[in-house]
């Protein structure tokens, strides 16, 4: 029988017990705020990125210009509602779970929201938003649609976030921070480090999951398309690189903000609101 290497924390008055209902509730609340809000905040970048993936333009600047010219400023925020609800609904389960299989199953719940978001952003006339887009999607493809194709990207992105963040922070403390880790007690400094570590983490996430992200955009824009069609259309190089620079900025920014907000919420909420 394998022995557990987990050492239970001592019971301390005023502290939240690990994996208790209060602990999961705090993870849920902080995850909803950090993940839902950050993904929604970068909606303009996401809209341009998705349109570049299916109809490449000369540059990011021209991508913004074409979109604003054709659809106005409001076009930059198309799909914000499915983004907000989709990532908010799954955030608490992902951030409260250390079980990768449970996390991957949770990501399935995001699939219909992501599919509607991409179609609203890339297919003018498909729908105005979530309220009319989701029923149309469910009617044509079912509640989950082409789940397997979409889930791979979310699984890769989520696993990379959790696999690399702690390692990156530890390496920063070891090689980039002149002050020993145990002496870095400033909450502001720690939260700043969380943002920087999260941004670097986000760059890795963007690179690892980008082929799957290209696939999601292509399949949701071309009815009846297959993976082979996507590779033939985009080319192998394009499959890995189309829209990547903009996505690195987008994912880096939102991942850094996610970890920063998540840690800030824990510091505030756990030590003040839940203190005995």
Residue 48 has pLDDT above 80, yes or no: yes
Residue 128: left (phi > 0), alpha (psi -120 to 50), or beta?
alpha
pLDDT > 90: what percent of the chain? 9
pTM of the model: 0.74
117 Cβ partners below 8 Å, 6+ apart?
46, 79, 82, 83, 86
Q: Which of 150, 179, 199 is the last residue of a domain?
A: 150
Classify residue 89 as exposed, middle or buried by CB count within 10 Å of its CB (0-12, 13-18, 19+).
Answer: middle
Of 176 and 263, which is predicted with more confidence? Answer: 176
Average pLDDT score over the chain:
76
Domain final residue, candidates 127, 150, 173: 150
Q: Using only C-alpha atoms, what is the Rg of the chain?
A: 20
Check the CA dihedral 271-5-165-94 and report its sign. Answer: negative
| 81 lies in the same domain as 175 | no
Give yes or no: residues 120 and 165 share one domain.
no
Q: Supply the range of the domain harboring residue 224.
A: 152-275
My answer on whether 22 and 143 are in the same domain is yes
Same domain, 111 and 144: yes
182 vs 201: CA distance, rounded Å: 23
Q: Is residue 204 part of a domain?
A: yes
Question: Within this chain, do residues 71 and 121 fall inside the same structural domain, yes or no?
Answer: yes
| Averaged pLDDT, 160-181 | 82
Asked whether residue 8 is domain-assigned, the answer is no
CB 150 within 8 A of CB 190: no
């Amino acid at each position: 029988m394998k022995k557990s290497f987990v050492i239970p924390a001592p019971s301390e008055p005023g502290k939240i017990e690990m994996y208790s209902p209060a602990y999961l509730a705090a993870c849920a609340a902080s995850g909803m705020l950090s993940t839902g809000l950050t993904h929604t905040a970068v909606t303009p970048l996401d809209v341009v990125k998705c349109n570049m993936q299916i109809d490449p333009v000369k540059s990011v600047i021209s991508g913004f210009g074409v979109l604003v010219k054709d659809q106005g400023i409001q076009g930059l925020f198309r799909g914000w509602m499915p983004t907000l609800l989709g990532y908010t609904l799954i955030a608490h389960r992902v951030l409260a779970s250390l079980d990768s299989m449970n996390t991957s199953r949770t990501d399935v719940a995001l699939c219909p929201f992501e599919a509607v978001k991409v179609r609203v952003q890339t297919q003018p006339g498909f729908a105005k938003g979530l309220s009319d887009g989701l029923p149309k999607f469910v009617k044509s493809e079912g509640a989950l649609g082409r789940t397997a194709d979409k889930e791979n990207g979310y699984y890769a992105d989520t696993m990379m976030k959790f696999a690399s963040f702690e390692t990156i922070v530890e390496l920063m403390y070891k090689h980039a921070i002149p002050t020993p880790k145990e002496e870095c007690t400033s909450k502001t400094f720690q939260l700043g480090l969380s943002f920087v570590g999260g941004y670097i983490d986000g760059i890795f996430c963007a690179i690892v999951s980008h082929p799957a992200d290209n696939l999601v955009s292509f399949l949701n824009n071309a009815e009846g398309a297959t993976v082979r069609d996507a590779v033939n259309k985009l080319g192998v190089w394009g499959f890995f690189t189309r829209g990547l620079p903009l996505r690195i900025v987008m994912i880096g920014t939102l991942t850094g903000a996610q970890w920063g907000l998540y840690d800030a919420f824990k510091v505030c909420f756990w030590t003040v609101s839940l203190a005995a």
